[in-house]
Structure 1
Amino acid sequence: MTGTLNPIGTSALIAREAAHTSVVWPLLSGSTRLVLVTGTAGIGRTALLNEVRDALEQQRVRTADVPLLRADRDRPQAVVTRVTEELARWSRPPVLFLDDLHRLDHDVLRALLEALPELGTSVVGSYRTPVRLEHTDLTDVLRANGLTEVVPLAPLNRSEVSHMVTGLLNVAADADLVRRLHEDSRGVPGLVDLAVDTYLRGEALRIIDRTAYLVGEPRGTGHRHAAVDRVKALGDLPWRTAKAMAVLHPLGPVAEELLDDTSALPDLEAEGVLVRRDGGWRFRAPVLAHALMASIGPYERHDLGWRAVSAIWEGRAFVQDPAYLPDRLIDAGGFADREKAASQLLAAGRAGVLRDPSARRWLHAAADRATSAVQRADALFTHAVACSVHNDMAAARASVEVALERSDEFTPDQLQELHLIRLVGMAAAGDRAGLRKVADTTWRTLPGGASSRFIDRAVALCYTDRWDEAATLLASTRTMWRLGNAATVTFGELFGMSAALMTGRMAEFERIVNDPALCPLHATERDRPAVKSAVARALLLAGEAARARRVLEGERPLASDQALLEVAEGRWDDALAHARKALVTGSTLGAVIAHTALARDLTSMLLARAKLTRAREVIADVRAGQNVLPHVLDAPEADLELVLGARDKSRQVLRRGLAHAAQHAIVLGTDELQLRLAIMSLEDGDHEDAAARVEHLADVAERMDTGRAHRNHLLGRALTWRDEAAVEEVRRLVAERSQPHEMARTWTTLVAFRLADPQLLREAYELFGSMDALLPRALLRHMMRENGVAVPGRAATTAEQERLLASLVAEGLTNRELAGVLSTTEKSVEARLTRLFQRTGYRSRVELATAMLTGEYH
């Protein structure tokens, strides 16, 4: 998902409270004659002046603006005369506002400063730093005037950048995005705005769960923005020089030698665009260079790229950044030697295939410029791999389609990997029709050898939720595909493992889990992490977090794997961040198990934290895209409907999930649905239906033999038959598994059915608290009071109840819906809301929702 820029101005964000006070109070007290606001271009001087003017007028202090006309910038008496004429118009002298005093010539500014003590009023002015060389002696004039207050505006810190992004996009900002924005803008508000605009338009910024993430480098052509327009307004030569330096400045001192005319460099320095450093030039903020580079036309880009390439090839310049030369080779186009350019682009792409998303661009250019069939095949294959690694599945699929036109140029291993990338790309794009075509095609008509054809069909069957068919196909053809190349055998084993898990063929599943080295690619450094990750994801989907962590020991887990582990271990703040990052970057679109498991866990966490609307959005988004294993999402969706009081709809969702699983012979995850239905039946007094569902749970536990399946069966048996042995066994098992959310829910359920000491609710309450699970904690408080268990911390409880209410209000729930969720009346909700607004000072639901979004709510 993407967002749009909020048209609301950012002046309130820029005019920080301390600076605002430093200007307003001296003026109101009459202790200051001149307040001079200083700071770099884009820092927010004008915005602060506007804030001060509004504050003074609210205090009924008259104000007046005196425009500094371009024609008067070198006429000292003209400016002084206009100021005195403006004052003469008023019976009581107003506070005067003079913006951009740095634009005045030396004599004009000196005359104005010397006249200020005689004006009989206060003046608020702004001056852009650094101080112009010709103005340096005027500091003596300011010092001589004891009634002068200088208020420097400092750049924003990271926290302030985060608040500004929230104001622009109406969403929260990920910490990595904030860090990048702060670095690229150097904390200058006008350049933060430019960076956000550039990333958003360049499709490098995406939004999920009302949180903005940076998912790549911005792409696209330049666009109008005030920060760029200011440079363009300096004139044709400074504009052309600035654009050229955007490309050439990494070359250091050599960059200046490559310019046709260097006379505009001092002007760009004076305007705060460029700064001198280490004998060369650098941009004041990296984002300005990015924006200017995007404004360069095709011929300029080719010319500047060739100048940079020539300087490096001739040994006149050296750039440490490994991305600089390949990027300039692409810019240079046909100006650079084709064979040499292709070789260097291919080398750079190979080196960065796993770590640098830019490798995709370099490898694509290398394929276009290849001078031999071998070089072209190498570039196409590596490009497809790079696109796959960096989640650009549309480009990966397109590259594979081109590559397969000449399949004889690739090794069997490469062909198999290309086939898999193509299928993953189809899954990522939601091309279920294309996947069904592969799954249902006679295997002899598929491309590649016999072994790879079986694998292609099996993968397509898995990606269309036909796991039982995939398991049967792989088992019946095992003797053939095991004779294939390393990639074929590895993919056969891994997809066979996943299909076995889904359908309850646990002996086959455990064979690979216990010995991942049975996958030949496990022996290669490049592929070993991916093999381990596939095994760990399967275990995590089955609820076996401890085993998954052991599999990943010594590896650096992907964001998706890390999130799944953190959910199970109760580290929900970290889990939410990693889950959002994995989903927003599309890193799980081709990994159906991780994608569905992440969506399930993210939904459950959001629901527990009273983010009901967000939870529904996640479910809808996943179902609209890669809707594989949809019954796994039915468990949290049913929980959501139950929280909202839609009990019948919750039951329908659970039955729908079981029907889908039965239709596809899927066993995994059905125990979660059966247990929920059994509990609902017991609550409704339908013991017969509950008993039948416990029989299903027993069958699943026997087939799956996982901790989660046994927990669900034991809990169902304990509740239905009031089986004390089952109660003891499920308590022992859950404690041994040590998954906080599972443990807290188990304790709560046992007490609710009067099968455990109510004091156990204390532990459940603390466990839910460690995960900041507001909604279960609120429900537990009711249970604890009903069972005579003291709720700890009265003041903390009141604050938490208000935060829960605020969270639900921020989700857009009506008073009736709030009453249903909180198990109270609409009248009670109205009273609680009144107290909440009185205590917090927020005047509306909108203000409260904004405070929750920005994290400012206390």
Structure 2
Amino acid sequence: MARDRLRGRRTELAALRAAVRGDRGRLVVVRGAAGTGKTALLRAAAAAWQADGARVIRLPPADGADPVRLLVDAVRAEFEQVGDAVVAERIATLTRRCETGPCPTAFPALTAIFDRIGRTGPTVLVADDADAPAAVLGAARRPGCLVVAACRDAPELLAAADEVLELGPLPEADLAPLLARAAGGLLDEAVPQALAAALGPLAGNPGAAIATVAELRRRGRLVRVGDRLCLADPVRPIALPPGHDLPARAGEAGLRLLAVVSALGSLRIDDLPVLAEVLGERLDPCGRLVDRLVEAGMLTAAPDGSLTCEPPALAAAAVEQVPVHAECAEFTRRLLAGNRTRVLAEYASRARPPLDPGEVSWLVAEADAIAAREPERAVRWYAAALEQPGAAAAQPAALAEFLRLVVATGRYELLPDLDAAALPAELRHDLLVAQLLAVAHLGSLPPNAKRWWFAAVARIGERLPPVRQLRAQPVLSPGELTLLGHALLGDRDGCARTAARLRRRIAPETLDALAEAGNFADLATVLELLLGPRYRVPSHGPVAVYQRLLAQYRAGDWTSALSAARELAAGNETDSAGHQIAHLIAAEICTARGQLTAARRWLDPVPEGGALEAMRVWGEVGLLLHLGEYREAVGIVQRLLDRLAGRSRYGLDQLLRRALVLAHRAGDTAAAQRFLAELERQPRSLAVLQGRAFAHRDPVLAAEAADLARARGDVPDQLVALLVAAEIAEDPEPVLREAHELVDRCGAVGLRRIFQRPGLSAPQPRAARTELSETELRIIELLREGYTNRRVASLLGVTVKTVENHLTRLFARTGCRSRVELVAASLQGRFGPAA
């Protein structure tokens, strides 16, 4: 049916389908911007009308042709449906008249033809992208036929319409399958979010969204990670594709103006005369062009008289399609020849024109003046000044402040490619540290810096000779570097000793937090704890994504945590501790959700052995726990402890907590005692508390551990604590209820099997569950794995149509509107097998 072929627009389709049965002689106008799906809606409506027994005559766009002649041709092309000799003769006569030129009697003749056709049954005249006058369409409307016209904005049609259907943004649930089809696979959750931010008001426009995703695919910017497609290089702007309606409507001159405004960030309207001169345009036409672009919504005028380009995807497309670096530089140079203002400092930071020494000093002074209150803007102004030849060596104080601000704002991409040998000795340490952090946060280093950086970083732990600092506080002092090193090793005692030697007081809870962050290779959190306001996590890059992943995992937002893991996996770097731990956390989430095949895919790339061996085994035995292979898992942990013999203990506490559960279920008392003894050597009080409670079957300790886990807000720790408490408590029902609420929140349906063991049955969910057949439950399970309808059909040995029919019935019975909602409801435990 047409309903099945059309995504969304069900209300509009129903209205059009009903219109043919309503009052005779109606004009219905479907209004929507380009790409909103007008053509698809009319195509689906035409199929529905024909299925209901109506005749459909399609009028093509005029494109400058005589609309009366087009209507005659459209009727002639369809007259065979009528099978009426009188109609055929009248059409032939009218066609001959129109061949000789304009025919004054054509309109009455068309009205008579439509009157004759309308008597034989319901008839619909469809005009897509209508540019025919309402009077011409009236030839069908007047005798009683339904006329449906689609347009963007046709005042005459809208004024004459009996009904106007506005096509707004397509709902996300309806748009998602269309985007997946354009991308060639299921999209990671972050891709539609990035798309929506780039497209702005066009985000729900199916034409714009689909074309943009297709262009991302064509450019190779969609990278497959597991069963999802992720955005490669997410920092790079998403641009509207070439040929999209919006840039085309701007025109050549308009697109060049948009490109300049976008490259400069904004444009003061007072500076338009200089820009018009640079662009070789006269001022009056340029001003009218600005007015047209503002009216079209491509430029936004702020109260202060500045113009910006919207949406971001249009700005990116303009810059891509029209290179304007030379124009922006010349525009800024001409303005600098007059009065130098802070607005010009902003232009200079964007256009990056060549600056003479006097202009460099002026730009540095402007940056100095705002550094305290606007560090984000100041760091860009410093960068534009210091990239000029010789400026960094000539402005040592400015360079020192710039390096501090780079770390304080997280803008490592602004670091210029400096030759450290040409700098004063007192700046080399700060530059080294800034570039060290840049490599960690962005994974890249400027070419010139590579010549000396790797040799210098090898000496970072050496006792550096005293140097004269340009500030009381360097970016990161040698002592702080030592402290950082201990923290990243998870060495709490080393941090305490170094802090004492530096005469720096660090609270015990901060030392615990440093050690925990270091155990998870969480550089961002370690630096936040050590440096406070002197450091900010960048808005992008692997360090920021990894910190976000850990926070989402601990908060129970496991869908977002998986998305962050995919973003890391889609990057170039794959062998850092953070990347490997991200793989292990993703495997743990998939295991908890019962997606064991996906969990294995995440686990396999992490190498065995090395510093993260205990964490990898944690993931490995997590799979065995879900499979019920308790004795095998206990043996793996035993052998690991034999191998470690005092070596790296990253993640050992969480492994030992899991091992205690495994030993208990395997009935291995000796192993349980060994695991507890090892656990008590670990510094984390919560882990030790949980281990003791479980090993000694102490409900008081279990309740204390559960309270501590709740206070920390760490969902994985809460789940472990609740499992321990449930196995020990005399009345496990309240604990189980809390645990299953957490399980539902995380979508961790696989954890139900851990709780549903002999003597520890899970409470039934409070909400009534929908009973489904075995086949329906299997289909939903395969959808959770990300399989397409075709693949599901292949695995079940049925046709694609059968799968589609099952899904249609599932949507109707469950109230879900999409595959995504169906999977989410399944993860919440809302479905069960039929009795």
Q: For this structure pair, what is the TM-score category when the shorter chain's length is used for normalisation?
A: 0.5 to 0.7
Match of 2:477 in 1: 487
Say yes or no: does 1:152 pair with 2:152: no
Deviations 1:328-358 (CA, angstroms, capped at 9, x unpaired): x23xx45x65763696489669979999999
Measured after TM superposition, the shift of residue 642 of structure 1 is 3.6
Rounded to whole Å, the distance in 1 between the matches of 2:308 and 2:262 is 9
Say yes or no: does 1:763 pair with 2:735: yes
Q: Read off the aligned partner of 2:242 and give its amino acid letter.
A: R
Rounded to whole Å, the distance in 2 between the matches of 1:789 and 1:193 is 44
Measured after TM superposition, the shift of residue 811 of structure 1 is 4.1
Question: Is the alpha carbon distance of 1:296 and 1:741 closer, same or farther for their aligned partners in structure 2, counting shifts above 3 Å?
Answer: closer
Match of 2:272 in 1: 255
Say yes or no: does 1:779 pair with 2:718: no
Match of 1:822 in 2: none
Match of 1:302 in 2: 326
Match of 2:88 in 1: none
Rounded to whole Å, the distance in 2 between the matches of 1:137 and 1:710 is 77
Match of 2:244 in 1: 226
Question: Quick check: 2:780–2:823 contact (8 Å CA) kept in 1?
Answer: no
Match of 1:795 in 2: 768
SS at match of 1:224: coil
SS at match of 2:163: strand
Match of 1:180 in 2: 197
Measured after TM superposition, the shift of residue 496 of structure 1 is 2.2
**Structure 2 alignment gaps of length 5 or more:** 84-116, 118-122, 467-472, 538-543, 788-795, 797-802, 831-835
Rounded to whole Å, the distance in 2 between the matches of 1:390 and 1:655 is 46
Say yes or no: does 1:33 pair with 2:26: yes
Q: Read off the aligned partner of 1:65 and give its amino acid letter.
A: R
Match of 1:289 in 2: 315
Task: Specify which of 567, 591, 603 is matched with residue 584 of structure 1.
Answer: 567
SS at match of 1:411: helix
Match of 2:141 in 1: 117
Question: Is the alpha carbon distance of 1:34 and 1:565 closer, same or farther for their aligned partners in structure 2, counting shifts above 3 Å?
Answer: closer
Question: Is the alpha carbon distance of 1:173 and 1:414 closer, same or farther for their aligned partners in structure 2, counting shifts above 3 Å?
Answer: same
Question: Quick check: 1:350–1:382 contact (8 Å CA) kept in 2?
Answer: no
Alignment of 1:239-278 (within 5 A): 250-252=267-269, 254-255=271-272, 258=276, 260-261=281-282, 262=285, 265=289, 272=296, 274=298
SS at match of 2:73: helix
Deviations 1:422-456 (CA, angstroms, capped at 9, x unpaired): 77379889xxxx9xx98xx9x9x9557941599xx
Match of 2:128 in 1: 99
Measured after TM superposition, the shift of residue 53 of structure 1 is 2.8
Deviations 1:793-826 (CA, angstroms, capped at 9, x unpaired): 3724969999997764334399xxxxxxxxxxx9
Say yes or no: does 1:710 pair with 2:657: no
Rounded to whole Å, the distance in 2 between the matches of 1:212 and 1:112 is 50
Deviations 1:330-388 (CA, angstroms, capped at 9, x unpaired): 3xx45x65763696489669979999999998776555423434258788888888887
Question: Quick check: 1:700–1:709 contact (8 Å CA) kept in 2?
Answer: yes
Alignment of 1:409-448 (within 5 A): 409-411=425-427, 413-418=429-434, 420-421=436-437, 424=440, 446=458
Q: Percent identity?
A: 16
Rounded to whole Å, the distance in 1 between the matches of 2:196 and 2:237 is 20
RMSD, matched Cα: 6.0
Rounded to whole Å, the distance in 2 between the matches of 1:856 and 1:308 is 58
Match of 1:470 in 2: none
Rounded to whole Å, the distance in 2 between the matches of 1:55 and 1:357 is 57
Match of 1:538 in 2: 515
Question: Quick check: 2:653–2:687 contact (8 Å CA) kept in 1?
Answer: yes
SS at match of 2:463: helix
Q: Read off the aligned partner of 1:224 and give its amino acid letter.
A: P
Question: Is the alpha carbon distance of 1:245 and 1:567 closer, same or farther for their aligned partners in structure 2, counting shifts above 3 Å?
Answer: closer
Question: Is the alpha carbon distance of 1:352 and 1:650 closer, same or farther for their aligned partners in structure 2, counting shifts above 3 Å?
Answer: farther
Q: Read off the aligned partner of 2:207 and give its amino acid letter.
A: G
Question: Is the alpha carbon distance of 1:32 and 1:512 closer, same or farther for their aligned partners in structure 2, counting shifts above 3 Å?
Answer: farther
Larger displacement relative to structure 2 (78-87 or 205-214): 205-214
Measured after TM superposition, the shift of residue 635 of structure 1 is 0.9
Question: Is the alpha carbon distance of 1:704 and 1:21 closer, same or farther for their aligned partners in structure 2, counting shifts above 3 Å?
Answer: same
Question: Quick check: 2:31–2:151 contact (8 Å CA) kept in 1?
Answer: yes
Match of 1:745 in 2: 720
Rounded to whole Å, the distance in 1 between the matches of 2:258 and 2:733 is 66
Question: Quick check: 2:348–2:384 contact (8 Å CA) kept in 1?
Answer: no
Question: Quick check: 2:587–2:599 contact (8 Å CA) kept in 1?
Answer: yes
Rounded to whole Å, the distance in 1 between the matches of 2:404 and 2:777 is 46
Question: Is the alpha carbon distance of 1:357 and 1:534 closer, same or farther for their aligned partners in structure 2, counting shifts above 3 Å?
Answer: farther
Say yes or no: does 1:695 pair with 2:721: no
Measured after TM superposition, the shift of residue 495 of structure 1 is 1.6
Match of 1:81 in 2: 72
Measured after TM superposition, the shift of residue 295 of structure 1 is 0.4
**Structure 1 alignment gaps of length 5 or more:** 1-9, 455-482, 523-527, 719-723, 815-825, 827-832
Say yes or no: does 1:638 pair with 2:638: no
Question: Quick check: 1:353–1:386 contact (8 Å CA) kept in 2?
Answer: no
Question: Is the alpha carbon distance of 1:712 and 1:56 closer, same or farther for their aligned partners in structure 2, counting shifts above 3 Å?
Answer: same
Question: Is the alpha carbon distance of 1:374 and 1:283 closer, same or farther for their aligned partners in structure 2, counting shifts above 3 Å?
Answer: closer
Measured after TM superposition, the shift of residue 632 of structure 1 is 1.8
Measured after TM superposition, the shift of residue 508 of structure 1 is 3.6
Match of 1:480 in 2: none
Match of 1:370 in 2: 389
Question: Quick check: 2:593–2:749 contact (8 Å CA) kept in 1?
Answer: yes
Rounded to whole Å, the distance in 2 between the matches of 1:120 and 1:150 is 18
Match of 2:102 in 1: none
Question: Quick check: 1:95–1:124 contact (8 Å CA) kept in 2?
Answer: yes
Say yes or no: does 1:326 pair with 2:349: yes
Measured after TM superposition, the shift of residue 91 of structure 1 is 0.9
Question: Is the alpha carbon distance of 1:750 and 1:416 closer, same or farther for their aligned partners in structure 2, counting shifts above 3 Å?
Answer: same
Q: Read off the aligned partner of 1:66 and give its amino acid letter.
A: L
Measured after TM superposition, the shift of residue 414 of structure 1 is 0.7
Measured after TM superposition, the shift of residue 488 of structure 1 is 0.7
Question: Quick check: 1:35–1:151 contact (8 Å CA) kept in 2?
Answer: yes
Rounded to whole Å, the distance in 1 between the matches of 2:611 and 2:201 is 39
Measured after TM superposition, the shift of residue 489 of structure 1 is 0.2
Question: Quick check: 1:697–1:713 contact (8 Å CA) kept in 2?
Answer: yes
Task: Specify which of 11, 17, 33 is matched with residue 18 of structure 1.
Answer: 11
Rounded to whole Å, the distance in 1 between the matches of 2:775 and 2:755 is 14
Q: When the two structures are aligned, how many residues end up with a matched partner?
A: 728
Measured after TM superposition, the shift of residue 302 of structure 1 is 0.9
Deviations 1:697-737 (CA, angstroms, capped at 9, x unpaired): 31441x3343244235425643xxxxx5x565455444444
